Amino acid sequence: MNKPENRVDQIVSDLLHGRRLKLRGGDAEEKAAITAAARLVAARQGTQRMNPAFRKRLEQALESAPKEPWMTRRAALVAGFGLAAGAVTGGLLGRAMEPAATALRPSGGDPINPVPGKWVDVAAISDLVEGQGKHVTAGSVGAFLFRRGDSVTGVSSICSHLPCELWWNGGQGLLACPCHPATFTPEGRSTDKTYPLPALSTVQVRVTPAGRVEVLGTD
């Protein structure tokens, strides 16, 4: 399967079936053939228009932009958004975010430490069902909480690739990004083994003796 003709045919087959380009480092030898295949597949289909659902998402992004005039460094940190700058895409998105996020360069899975932070009561531990994610907000910090016995963990609710709010797919037991095909485990790890995304930021959670769940967030 390592012969170039086999490898390129696999890529051609993926493209002909509408699948995403899944390339490896060794594919660089055949970059010309691969890009030619991508262009031929696209040309065969003619000029493409955006899917209505995708267009709607872009429209929402454009219309919401004035309400949140680009992200301040602090807001980006709080939202875990800066993870995008260090995405496994080799800084691809980081370039796209310049100059707002260039100073961030965080590593995946880092905890969110809002400054000044504030412990915010978000739920009773009895509200959390084992095996199910619960979305909460603590000021500017959005998070999904997961209960295991008497302990609770949390991860940022913002995708580490695109700045989109994740949702809990209870059927799969995964956090899913609405903006692109990306999912994360409750621990925040990317499920894509071929192109794993950075882990979601963790949020700091504590359970009080009274059984209340608090998240370190902001006012």
- Footprint on this chain of other proteins (rule: CB under 8 A): 4-6, 8-9, 12, 14-16, 18-21, 23-25, 27-28, 30-44, 46-51, 54-55, 57-59, 61-63, 65-66, 69-70, 89-93, 95-98, 162-163, 179-181
In angstroms, the CA 90 to CA 22 distance is: 16
The residue assigned the tokens 């700058």 is 85
Exposed/middle/buried for residue 52 (C-beta within 10 Å: 0-12, 13-18, 19+):
exposed
Sheet of 134-138, strand order: 134-138, 141-148, 151-156, 202-203
Nearer to other proteins, 30 or 127 (CB): 30
Q: Residue 46, Cα to own-chain centre: how many angstroms?
A: 31
Nearer to other proteins, 28 or 115 (CB): 28
Nearest approach, Cβ of residue 100 and other proteins (Å): 8
Q: Which of 150, 139, 130, 154 is nearest to 207 (CA)?
A: 150
Nearest approach, Cβ of residue 130 and other proteins (Å): 33
The residue assigned the tokens 């990306």 is 182
User: Backbone phi, then psi, for 135, in 5-degree steps?
Assistant: -85, 130
Q: Which of 169, 143, 179 is nearest to 60 (CA)?
A: 179
Nearer to other proteins, 10 or 169 (CB): 10
Nearer to other proteins, 59 or 121 (CB): 59
Identify residue 97 by its one-letter amino acid code: M
Are 87 and 94 in contact by the 8 Å Cβ rule? The answer is yes
Nearer to other proteins, 100 or 120 (CB): 100
Nearer to other proteins, 58 or 129 (CB): 58
Nearest approach, Cβ of residue 215 and other proteins (Å): 27
Nearest approach, Cβ of residue 122 and other proteins (Å): 29
Nearest approach, Cβ of residue 25 and other proteins (Å): 3
Nearest approach, Cβ of residue 176 and other proteins (Å): 14
